[in-house]
Amino acid sequence: MATRKIEIYDTTLRDGSQLEGISLSVDDRIRITGELDLLGVQFIEGGFPASNPKEAEFFEKVASLKLKNAKLVAFGGTRKVGAQTETDDNMKALLAANTPAVCLVGKSSDIQVQKVLETSLEENLSMIADSVSYLKSKGKIVIFDAEHFFDGYKRNPEYAVRALQVAEKAGADRLVMCDTNGGTMPDEVFDIVTAVKKATKATLAIHAHNDTELAVANSLAAIRAGADQVQGTINGYGERCGNANLISVIANLKLKLGIDCISDEQVARLREISSRISDIVNIPMDPQQAYVGNKAFSHKAGYHVAAIAKMASSYQHIDPAAVGNDKKILISELSGRSNILYKAKELGIELSPKGEEIKMLLQEVKERESRGFQYEGAEASFELLIRRSQKNYKRPFELVDFMVMVERHRRYGSNGNGNGTYKKDASIFTLDDKEALLAEATVKVRVGPEVFHTAAEGNGPINALDQALRKALVQFYPSVANVKLTDYKVRIIDESSGTGSTVRVIIESSDGTHDWRTMGCSQNIIEASWMALADSLEYSLVHAREALKR
């Protein structure tokens, strides 16, 4: 089996784009095509040129893209019922796409032919034969997608196989068995592909949908039974529950079955390319996605971490680096000493496994998490917790005091100085301008022996605090000007307390080269935000200081 070569056929641009929420521009399609070619797939299905002008434009523009690994495929249906192949609009569009390969979809289920296509079984077979032979005569690689094949086979195996045989006789280069409704079980797939393998000589392929969460399993079952091409999409995008996830399929082929499909170097790019395409389609990656998700190799339980420190494979089925990923050790109330030792070692801090220092750190983590803190989502704050436990650690700044005021209408209203209007009788103040609300913060911070008292305005209390703190620090630490707040999230911890609930604030920051997350927790949302904000800036300054040492 290790000597086999399996073709990877990607249909992200066609099947994948049918996922609710995905809308790709022509430029998006071009960028995804480049990423797929970099990954090393053999076929890239560009779309349905007869469906809309945008897809036709893609085929015009992509012609200038020099692909190194993949052949571009145009997708379309067989000729229409009763039509002449040479004059059929779909055939014209497929030829106009000017791709080396075309994929033709046709019916292979008798009931689909009769109830959906509304024609005879023989006419359907003629449509398949005419379309395949015509495109072969034009020098195309022809891939025949037998739609509803597995359902059709279970209902009428003779007709389903005959549809494949007709396409094969007409010259089809690949015969694709489609689990269109995604309801077939892996053992059924294996048995059916095994039977089809005996009835045809052409290269067989599998196209599985994920409606029963079995698309990857079904794809692998088909390959074990003799299929030599697998179709799917990056990250499993697709209509309804999606298609077979090629990220998982490729990793399983290479790392589990020892079957060649792309190079080892390309497999190591799986996470990178999965993430890039996720960004292009504007859908966040599933953090628990197999192999490439952010949580795919995360370890939280203390005894897991202790075992991994001794033998990485004890709780990891592969080396994460093989797919471009990395393991993560999480800190929480479930943590043991091993979690903290591991994180400290990453920072270059050696702690004694049985020392008082680690005992106190572990106790502090568990006590804080009982109050609503959550360090597994804010590793920068946990790093600071470790660093602050060291006797030689010096904070770049310390908070002395802060005050925040939020005004609604001191500068606006009936005196005509602003855009708001105030009606005394109804006690109604109407805000007509986004600047009508004003937040002002004053901050006292100590840097070394000096205390600085600064004030700043902002469009909200947290923004005002941020501005005031930066104003105090920038004269000593110019690098804080490069730190940007990129995300701000608030989570209510105990909903039953209403507006008096404890809240957890997570702030994500970036300096343009890397990102980090910090956290604060309090019954006062401003205090919780201050904790997260102060941690964010302290973290950036600590790392700037460490960089200077190197």
Q: Specify the residue for token string 């005996």.
A: 198
CA-to-CA distance for 51 and 483, rounded, in angstroms? 46
Phi, psi (rounded to 5 degrees) for 380:
-65, -40
Residues 6+ apart with CB under 8 A from 336: 301, 302, 303, 305, 306, 362
Confidence of residue 544 (pLDDT cuts 50, 70, 90): confident
Residues 333-347: tens digit of each pLDDT? 445 566 777 777 777
H or E element, residue 510 = strand 503-510
pTM for the full predicted model: 0.70
pLDDT of residue 390: 83
Q: Give me the chain's average pLDDT, please.
A: 86
Q: Which of 6-15, 20-29, 137-146, 242-251 has the lowest mean pLDDT?
A: 20-29
Among 102-106, 128-132, 176-180, 344-348, the minimum mean pLDDT is found in: 344-348
In this structure, what are the phi and psi dihedrals at residue 507, rounded to the nearest 5 degrees?
Answer: -115, 130
Taking residues 360-372, report their average pLDDT.
75
Tens-place pLDDT, residues 473-485: 998 899 989 999 8
What confidence tier does 119 reach under pLDDT thresholds 50, 70, 90? very high
The alpha-carbon radius of gyration of the chain (Å, integer) is 30
Q: Name all domains of the chain by residue range, CATH numbers in brackets.
A: 7-262 (3.20.20.70), 298-388 (no CATH), 398-549 (3.30.160.270)
Q: Is the pLDDT reported for residue 519 higher than 70?
A: yes
DSSP letters spanning 12-29 = TTTTGGGSTT----HHHH
> Residue 278 pLDDT more than 50?
yes
Q: What's the whole-number mean pLDDT along residues 425-429?
A: 45
Return d(Cα 104, Cα 207) in angstroms, integer.
13
137 Cβ contact list (under 8 Å, min separation 6): none
Residue 409 pLDDT > 70:
no
The first and second tokens of residue 375, run together, are 């360090």
Of the candidates 70, 2, 40, 41, which has an alpha carbon nearest to the alpha carbon of residue 265?
A: 40
* Residue scoring higher pLDDT (358 or 119): 119
Q: How far apart are CA 58 and CA 73, in angstroms?
A: 12
Residues 522, 533 contacting (CB under 8 angstroms)? no
Phi, psi (5° rounding) for residue 509?
A: -125, 165
**Highest mean predicted confidence (pLDDT) among 142-156, 268-282, 284-298, 455-469:** 142-156
Nearest-angstrom CA–CA distance, 168 and 173:
7
429 — pLDDT class (breaks 50, 70, 90): very low
Question: What mean pLDDT comes out for the span 306-330?
Answer: 75
DSSP 127-176: HHHHHHHHHHHTT-EEEEEEETHHHHHHH-HHHHHHHHHHHHHTT-SEEE
Nearest to 517 by CA among 500, 527, 504, 526: 504
Percent of the chain with pLDDT over 90: 56
pLDDT of residue 406: 85
3-state secondary structure of 35: helix
Least trusted range by pLDDT, from 138-152, 284-298, 413-427: 413-427
How far, in Å, CA of 211 to CA of 144, rounded?
23
pLDDT recorded at residue 159: 97
Strands 7-10 and 421-423, sheet pairing: unpaired
d(CA 239, CA 15): 7
Of residues 407, 402, 403, 439, the one with CA closest to residue 420: 407
Let me know: does 59 contact 92? Beta carbons within 8 Å: no
Backbone φ/ψ region at 33: left (φ over 0), alpha (ψ -120 to 50), beta: alpha
> Would you say 518 and 454 are in contact if contact means Cβ atoms under 8 Å apart?
no
User: pLDDT value at position 550?
Assistant: 58
Q: Examine the pLDDT at 469 and tell me if it is beyond 50.
A: yes
φ/ψ of residue 54, rounded to 5 = -65, -40
Task: Give whole-number Cα distances, 224 to 54, 191, 208, 250, 449, in Å.
Answer: 38, 10, 15, 14, 71
CA distances from 137 to 44, 125, 408 (A): 22, 18, 76
Tokens describing residue 38: 């970099």
Q: Does residue 428 surpass a pLDDT of 50? A: no
Per-residue pLDDT, 299: 66
* pLDDT greater at residue 37 or residue 355: 37
Distances (CA, A) of 326 to 293, 315, 343, 389, 455: 10, 13, 14, 27, 43
Q: Give Dmax (Cα) for the chain.
A: 92
Angle between helices 89-96 and 53-62 (to 10 degrees): 30
Per-residue confidence band for 287, with pLDDT thresholds at 50, 70 and 90: confident
The tokens of 146 are what?
Answer: 């037998």
* pLDDT beyond 90 at 97: yes
What per-residue confidence (pLDDT) applies to 212?
Answer: 97
Tokens 């698309």 correspond to 215
pLDDT band at 374 (very low <50, low <70, confident <90, very high): confident
Q: Which pLDDT score, from 0 to 100, does residue 426 have?
A: 44
